[in-house]
Structure 1
Amino acid sequence: MNQTILFTPVGGTDPISSTNCRDGSMLHICRIYKPDKVIMYMTKEMLAYQEEDNRYLYCLERLAKMQKREMEYETIERRELTKVHEFDYFYQDFRVIIEQIYEKMDDTDVLLLNISSGTPAMKSGLLVLQTLGEFPAKLIQVATPEKRINEHIHRDYDVVTLWELNEDNEEGCLNRCKEVQCPTLSKIKKEEIIKKHILAYDYKAALDVADTLEKEETENYRDLLYMASRRLMLDFANVDAVIRKTGMQCLPVRTSSERKYFEYALNMEIRLKKEEYVDFVRSITPLIVDLFEMVLEKREGIKIDDYCERYRKNGKEFRKWAPEKLKGTKIGEILDSEYDKDGGFNAREVYSIHLKVLIERIEQEKHLVELVQNLRFVEENIRNLAAHEIMSVTEDTLQKMTGFSGNKIMNMIKELFHYTGLNIKKEYWDSYDKMNQMILERI
């Protein structure tokens, strides 16, 4: 129906203030918003004034005539109401009234609520209704001309004279209305849930909750939530797309060849923080194989790929040791001597155990060798077990089976990065928490 409807309690300065000869809140909202219908809520006192001189309808009708339009009026009478300070009464009464108003509205209609007229209890009742979010409406607040509390004088009220003297009737009068953006309780609760998900690194859940809010309510942070969720999935193409769109950079390592290893390690640490121990231990092998390789290349100039060949299986490319490339080399000799009792080295895939042997035989720094041995020990003792058996992995499990806590294992991985040649600064490891803070500041 495309109607604008104003629900308004009637207050002490309505319709025109006798102290400043300017619109009261109800009349001023009607002047500015031009509602098609005005529903006035009158207590015993206000009804007495209306019956005495028709002041409210008189001014509304004069305004409608001045603006050359039609305006419908409805009065909700509460003649028995004298305790105008009781919040509970107004909250319950307004809830029923506004529900009835909404039953007659369609999606094209707009409801205005005047929160400047009436007693403090009336204004609070309307605010609470809007906060609960049951009835979408525009809350309209009207400033007094003097920017201070209005004086209420009802004695010797001459509505006809006041209308003629009303300065707001002059062309170009100041708009004193303001639409109050009152967040709903539902929105507040959802935003708190989003914040908790962010702090728990559960960005997909945070994004799901955010998408139940209105688009304009999440426009400041929704892209960042999406970026965080894709980052956790190591989906760098979409992460980069969001960074380009928003200009918000959260990845400290930006070179793609280095970023994948560092972000993978960060991903492991997030799993540890979330106590997802099975996923944590299962993710160890791919990383330490790559880190061991980088250590050999950085410190010894040994490129494992030089001793391997590629093959395809089911449309994917894989790597395996190439016997002809190992033959007659130092690498081949080390591996053959290690597996001499088994008839020499004949493995196909490149495993961390092979790289550990090479580091043990070639590397001179004892601490690095010990670090590599410890990480390989962790992988050997729990990773394969967790990958192939149905089992519970807890912090106690890690400690009992490896002798190391989850944090200790993670710290060893971080330390190993120092030997790879990757430029990973200590503060980079806090980048997820910094990203979280960036998002939280925008909510």
Structure 2
Amino acid sequence: MKVLFSCVGTTDPIRGMHDGAMLHIMRHYRPDAVVMYVSPEMKAHDAKDNRYALAFESIQQRYPDYHPEIHRIDGDAVDVSEFDSFYEPFQKIVKDWSAQYPDAEILLNLSSGSTQMKMTMALLAMDLRYRTKGIQVKNFEQRSGTSERSSEDNYDIHAEIELNEDDDDASPNRCSEPDLFLIRRNEERQRVKAMLDQYDYKALEAMRDAIPADCRKLVRHLAHRSDYDFAQAEQLAENLPVPFCLFPMRPCKSWATKRAYREESEYLLCLELMQKTGALTNFVLRLNPLVLRLQQAYLKQICSFDCGQITIRKGSHVLISRDKIRALHPALETYLDQHFNIFRDNTDISIVFCNALLAYLGKADTEEGRLFTALEKLNQSQRNAAAHTLNNTTEQDIYDLIGFGSKKLVEKLEALIQEIYADLCDPKLFRIYDTCNEYIYQRL
């Protein structure tokens, strides 16, 4: 859909037997709707001869299959040289039409009206929040116009229509789209795309005026979601008009399982953004709690071993209970004492302990067991290095320790979540940030 927003001046609707800018844009762009802003001065001229309605009627007769909606706005700005009189009302017009028709392209007539009106249209043509395009129409004389203006007392709209040379199919198209506006809009687009490519949604949120209006709430959602502010992200996701599900997931009857899956999968998504943007030190440091959660979920869902049966909770700590192990799994107590050379009671459950459980259950040599072993090694080595040195974790560090890079590690963790939560996990979730980025790219 195309909407033309146009002021009318002393060259409209027809002057010197040629289209004024508004009529010429209609002729060559065929907008579905025309929003015409008429100042009190132009309204007075129109009252004498009904010039605008006659001009619209003439172009519809010339093109019988063309029937645009005409929306007239009678302005109240008497002094059309006052810039501040136009910016807010013109912006509101563009904003309202953009909200009503988000996919519409709004054509802005840069050649009609006072200088201040044209300047306002030019600013709106460069505003990335809206799908606008500035259209300039060259004077048919290719210089400052010498023919009488439509504000003259002897202006004859009927003669202008009858003798309009632009009705000839061979007449030139005098419309152009100034490169300056395209360059400025493309620069703004590139700034936004750079932020999207870096998944820097907080910075993007601060560039609010550069974001299309129908994407701002989505950007706010992503800013909170990428910061693991899940409650706020979920609230912002309500009624977001995007053509895809922001939280793709299969149906689940167990609220506890659903909550665990969402917490772990969303945390992994945050880690994935760190990996993609090269924040590998933070990536490794923040990996530990997820690994521990996934180990316990794997033990429960795949190995049918509930760590909750052998632990006790004290405040925020989950502690291993020798008494519970002895009562439920006496052979396990013996194994753990051998494995750890007497393991300590009432210590925090850890990656090392869960890996011992996996070994006891015969899972150490499975693909998942080897992954957890690699993660234990990464955790011990890189967490110690990050905590006690000034060095950052590099891609080579990760590869040297576990035999594959950070991207492959994220892929393995995604596959692990899909295995643990096979009934719940929709793989589309792991592309949700890229899906959102692609959607915002399109809206630009």
Q: Tell me if TM exceeds 0.5.
A: yes
Q: Counterparts of 1:240-259 in structure 2 under 5 Å?
A: 240-248=234-242, 249-253=245-249, 255-259=258-262
Could you say which residue in structure 1 is the equivalent of 2:191?
193
CA distance in 2, matches of 1:352, 1:400: 20
Could you say which residue in structure 1 is the equivalent of 2:352?
353
Could you say which residue in structure 1 is the equivalent of 2:84?
107
The structural deviation recorded for 1:354 is 0.2
Is the partner of 1:319 in helix, strand or coil? strand
Could you say which residue in structure 2 is the equivalent of 1:437?
438
Is the partner of 1:300 in helix, strand or coil? coil
The structural deviation recorded for 1:379 is 1.8
Could you say which residue in structure 2 is the equivalent of 1:85?
none
Q: Relative to structure 1, is the Cα distance of residues 165 and 153 closer, same or farther in structure 2, using a 3 angstrom cutoff?
A: farther
CA distance in 2, matches of 1:107, 1:128: 14
Deviations 1:314-364 (A, max 9, x none): xxx322122332234324333222223xx4433511100000011011135
Structure 1 residue identity aligned to 2:406: G
Could you say which residue in structure 2 is the equivalent of 1:229?
223
Could you say which residue in structure 2 is the equivalent of 1:372?
372
Identity, in percent, stands at: 18
Unaligned runs of 5+ in 2: 1-6, 24-35, 50-78, 91-107, 162-176, 251-257
Q: Relative to structure 1, is the Cα distance of residues 442 and 132 closer, same or farther in structure 2, using a 3 angstrom cutoff?
A: closer
TM-score scaled to structure 1, two decimals? Answer: 0.62
CA RMSD of aligned residues (A): 4.7
Q: Counterparts of 1:262-273 in structure 2 under 5 Å?
A: 262-273=265-276
Deviations 1:250-295 (A, max 9, x none): 2223743311111211221211110101011112211111111111
1:219 aligns with 2:218: no
CA distance in 1, matches of 2:370, 2:351: 14
CA distance in 2, matches of 1:201, 1:410: 17
CA distance in 2, matches of 1:436, 1:393: 28
1:33 aligns with 2:34: no
Could you say which residue in structure 2 is the equivalent of 1:300?
303
Unaligned runs of 5+ in 1: 1-5, 37-59, 68-100, 119-123, 144-148, 169-179
Q: Counterparts of 1:263-342 in structure 2 under 5 Å?
A: 263-312=266-315, 317-330=316-329, 331-340=332-341
Q: Relative to structure 1, is the Cα distance of residues 347 and 25 closer, same or farther in structure 2, using a 3 angstrom cutoff?
A: closer
Structure 2 residue identity aligned to 1:253: M
Residue pair 1:130, 1:184 contacting (<8 A) in 2 also? no
Could you say which residue in structure 1 is the equivalent of 2:201?
203
CA distance in 1, matches of 2:189, 2:291: 39
Could you say which residue in structure 1 is the equivalent of 2:254?
none
Deviations 1:135-156 (A, max 9, x none): xxx999899xxxxx8999969x
Structure 2 residue identity aligned to 1:439: I
Deviations 1:155-175 (A, max 9, x none): 9xxx7665485699xxxxxxx
Q: Relative to structure 1, is the Cα distance of residues 163 and 386 closer, same or farther in structure 2, using a 3 angstrom cutoff?
A: same
Could you say which residue in structure 2 is the equivalent of 1:389?
389
Could you say which residue in structure 2 is the equivalent of 1:410?
410
Is the partner of 1:287 in helix, strand or coil? helix
CA distance in 2, matches of 1:164, 1:431: 58
Is the partner of 2:281 in helix, strand or coil? helix
Structure 2 residue identity aligned to 1:250: L
Q: Relative to structure 1, is the Cα distance of residues 264 and 326 closer, same or farther in structure 2, using a 3 angstrom cutoff?
A: same
The structural deviation recorded for 1:420 is 2.1
Residue pair 1:269, 1:410 contacting (<8 A) in 2 also? yes
The one of 212, 228, 238 aligned to 2:232: 238
Structure 1 residue identity aligned to 2:239: K
